[in-house]
A and B are shown apart, each in its own frame.
Chain A
């Protein structure tokens, strides 16, 4: 159903957000631990990165219907 679509989208969005957040957080923690001497900025960065990606994905997902898809056609004049 069309009305479930949005819900589904929001579910995906949230799921993605959670994943991305976690992943970002993890990576950030890893990076911060590994590379950046336990600084917080890579955690935040990584979390932010992850949230950002999730946001963008969510937005894209929600926008997906309105995005115009185009195709390239090569026109050969015969």
Chain B
């Protein structure tokens, strides 16, 4: 059965399931499919959204990479995008800074002479660099590499003005000496300026500058000295050698002259033959002399030329070194050189002419010798037995020989006559030819002379020009110096004036300031003293007042203590009085309060208030004492019962029957014992029973006064019944009031006099 059930359950379940399976699987399927569908569609959605977001992000990043402005915008607007960008792209490109113009090579200031200004390629544009204090330095100026044309004089003067004004701006730095000046001998076109090192862009301190200047001056001086020494040396040596050369040349001249003379003499065969040999010897000697002299002269000339070259080299180097003060020396050296060269040349030309003459003479002599030789040869031919030296054979000659000789001589004479005639005929031609030759030679010589003269003239002119230039420069320099001096003087005057004025102003200012400070100090001092005085007075007053105060305080303290003692006593007596109140028994009154009140009266004999209060106590309380509240309360209930019973009885109704009715009423009337009394009594509240209820309520709450008030409102017999109670209550209340007043007063007095610990 269980199995059946089981089966049934299974079947049911299955059915259920199957029933639902169809739906379920469908549902499932649907769910799956929907899930699948939804899954796929959700996946699609997710993928699509991811794609969009990624695409947007990458697009933003790429665009930001390309456009930095866009990147900046995005970084500004979207927080944390800058980090993302930094991560992706690296740090942002730096903002474009406007390229500062490279300051051109700062050319230092130079006080240079006008020629220098004209010579210098580009003067430093000091005005352009007003902001930076142009370093006024003497060291090698910065010169532009290309050799520009020299500036005109106006430009140079403008430059000079610039320089002067710039100097005016920078007074602290001493003006540099005219140290760096290129030698005047070179034109700008001729020389290439070397690019010197770039000067420092910052101003050197004055000491450094002056030190440098001193250094440079010293170096200059040294160089100058060296230069001059060198120049002098070379000049001296060259002069010596030149002189030597000239001397040698002159010697050569003389030697040549002597030699020529000798030769001519020798050629003039009019001397006797035995002197001929001496003559020829002398001639030979002269010749050797001449050759030697020539050699010497050659040597000397070479040496001189060498020396002159050296001198020229030295002069060039001196010129290169650009020391201005050496210029005149250089000029002089150059002049010397030139003159030496000229002299040398002259002498050389002289020698050359002499040489040519000598050559002519020698040629003539050669010709003569040749003729002689020929003659001799002829003679030899004719007279073979006559040997070479026919001079000593004049006595040995035979008649034939003589005849042949004379025949030969005649023949020769004829020949010579013929030749002469021929020559005469050809004279003209020869002369013309000779003239031509001579002309040519003359021309050549002329040319040479002209060229040499030209050279010399040119050299002269150059030297003169240089001299003139030098002079002009010096003049200009002097003038410039005077002008500068004038300017400086004017400047100093101006400065003096300005300084005077400034001094005045400053003095006044200082005086003012001093005055004001003095005033301040004085007022301050006065104020301080016054303050001191005031404070002292204040302190004194304060001290006195305090003393007084203290005295008063002490007095009042004494008084207060007295008061306190009295108050204490009063309080004690009032407490005693209060205590006596407690002595009320259940039904018996308290002790008579006389004693306590008497004590109070004693204690506060001066206190009017207390006295008044103490006397305000009712007589009964004093003599008889008062009833306690509890007894009154108890009594009240009796009164209440009674009053209820005679509630109907008053003046009009007071028969016994009324009494009976009243009793009946009181028995039959049911009401609450206690009723909350209202704030205001209305007319219906004046009912006996009501009043009694209120009174009961009040008295139950301890409010005797209110109960008394309500009881006071009773009328008729009830009133008469409650009369005594009321009286007692009144008494008690009065006494209690007075005592409470006294107690409060005592407390107050006590509080007033007690001092807080």
- Give the interface of A toward B (CB within 8 A): 1-3, 5-6, 55, 58-59, 62-63, 65-66
Interface residues on B, range: 10 to 19
Residues from chain B with a CB closer than 8 A to the CB of A6 are 642, 646, 717, 721
Our pick among B651, B654, B721 for the contact of A3 (Cβ within 8 Å) is B721
| Interface residues of A, dominant DSSP | helix
- 29 example contacts (A-B, Cβ-Cβ < 8 A) are as follows A1-B724, A1-B725, A2-B720, A2-B721, A2-B723, A2-B724, A3-B635, A3-B638, A3-B639, A3-B642, A3-B721, A3-B722, A3-B724, A3-B725, A5-B720, A5-B721, A6-B642, A6-B717, A6-B721, A55-B656, A58-B656, A59-B656, A62-B649, A62-B656, A62-B659, A63-B655, A65-B720, A66-B651, A66-B654
Query: Are B725 and A62 neighbours in the complex by a CB distance under 8 Å?
Result: no
CB-contacts of B659-713 with A (<8 A): 659
- Give the interface of B toward A (CB within 8 A): 635, 638-639, 642, 646, 649-651, 654-656, 659, 717, 720-725
Report the nearest A residue to B643, measured CB to CB. A3
Q: How far is the CB of A13 from chain B (nearest CB, A)?
A: 9
Report the nearest B residue to A64, measured CB to CB. B654
Please report the C-alpha to C-alpha distance between residue A5 and residue B642 in the assembled complex, in whole angstroms. 11
Query: Are A62 and B654 neighbours in the complex by a CB distance under 8 Å?
Result: yes
Query: Are A2 and B722 neighbours in the complex by a CB distance under 8 Å?
Result: yes
Q: How far is the CB of B634 from chain A (nearest CB, A)?
A: 12
Residues from chain B with a CB closer than 8 A to the CB of A59 are 655-656
Known pairs A3-B642, A5-B721; list 18 more (Cβ under 8 Å): A1-B724, A2-B722, A2-B725, A3-B635, A3-B639, A3-B722, A3-B724, A5-B720, A6-B642, A6-B646, A6-B717, A6-B721, A59-B656, A62-B649, A62-B659, A63-B654, A66-B651, A66-B654
Please report the C-alpha to C-alpha distance between residue A55 and residue B659 in the assembled complex, in whole angstroms. 12
Of all A-B residue pairs in the complex, the 8 with the closest CB atoms, nearest first, are A2-B724, A2-B723, A1-B724, A59-B656, A66-B651, A63-B654, A3-B721, A3-B642
Residues from chain A with a CB closer than 8 A to the CB of B720 are 2, 5, 65
Please report the C-alpha to C-alpha distance between residue A3 and residue B639 in the assembled complex, in whole angstroms. 6
Please report the C-alpha to C-alpha distance between residue A63 and residue B650 in the assembled complex, in whole angstroms. 9
Q: How far is the CB of B647 from chain A (nearest CB, A)?
A: 13
Please report the C-alpha to C-alpha distance between residue A55 and residue B724 in the assembled complex, in whole angstroms. 27
Q: How far is the CB of A73 from chain B (nearest CB, A)?
A: 24
Q: How far is the CB of A32 from chain B (nearest CB, A)?
A: 28
Residues from chain A with a CB closer than 8 A to the CB of B635 are 3
Residues from chain B with a CB closer than 8 A to the CB of A5 are 720-721
Please report the C-alpha to C-alpha distance between residue A2 and residue B721 in the assembled complex, in whole angstroms. 5
Residues from chain A with a CB closer than 8 A to the CB of B659 are 62
Please report the C-alpha to C-alpha distance between residue A38 and residue B655 in the assembled complex, in whole angstroms. 35
Q: How far is the CB of B672 from chain A (nearest CB, A)?
A: 23
Report the nearest A residue to B635, measured CB to CB. A3
Q: How far is the CB of B620 from chain A (nearest CB, A)?
A: 14
Q: How far is the CB of A55 from chain B (nearest CB, A)?
A: 6
Question: Most chain-A CB neighbours within 10 Å: which of B649, B656, B717, B722?
Answer: B656
Report the nearest B residue to A67, measured CB to CB. B654
Residues from chain A with a CB closer than 8 A to the CB of B639 are 3
Please report the C-alpha to C-alpha distance between residue A74 and residue B444 in the assembled complex, in whole angstroms. 212
Q: How far is the CB of A75 from chain B (nearest CB, A)?
A: 28
Residues from chain A with a CB closer than 8 A to the CB of B638 are 3
Question: Most chain-B CB neighbours within 10 Å: which of A1, A3, A62, A66?
Answer: A3
Q: How far is the CB of B267 from chain A (nearest CB, A)?
A: 215
Please report the C-alpha to C-alpha distance between residue A63 and residue B654 in the assembled complex, in whole angstroms. 6
Please report the C-alpha to C-alpha distance between residue A5 and residue B649 in the assembled complex, in whole angstroms. 15
Report the nearest B residue to A7, measured CB to CB. B642
Please report the C-alpha to C-alpha distance between residue A2 and residue B638 in the assembled complex, in whole angstroms. 11
Please report the C-alpha to C-alpha distance between residue A65 and residue B646 in the assembled complex, in whole angstroms. 14
Please report the C-alpha to C-alpha distance between residue A17 and residue B642 in the assembled complex, in whole angstroms. 22
Report the nearest A residue to B640, measured CB to CB. A3
Residues from chain B with a CB closer than 8 A to the CB of A3 are 635, 638-639, 642, 721-722, 724-725
Residues from chain A with a CB closer than 8 A to the CB of B724 are 1-3
Report the nearest A residue to B646, measured CB to CB. A6
Q: How far is the CB of B46 from chain A (nearest CB, A)?
A: 104
Q: How far is the CB of B665 from chain A (nearest CB, A)?
A: 16
Residues from chain A with a CB closer than 8 A to the CB of B725 are 1-3
Residues from chain B with a CB closer than 8 A to the CB of A2 are 720-725
Residues from chain A with a CB closer than 8 A to the CB of B723 are 2
Report the nearest A residue to B652, measured CB to CB. A66
Residues from chain A with a CB closer than 8 A to the CB of B721 are 2-3, 5-6
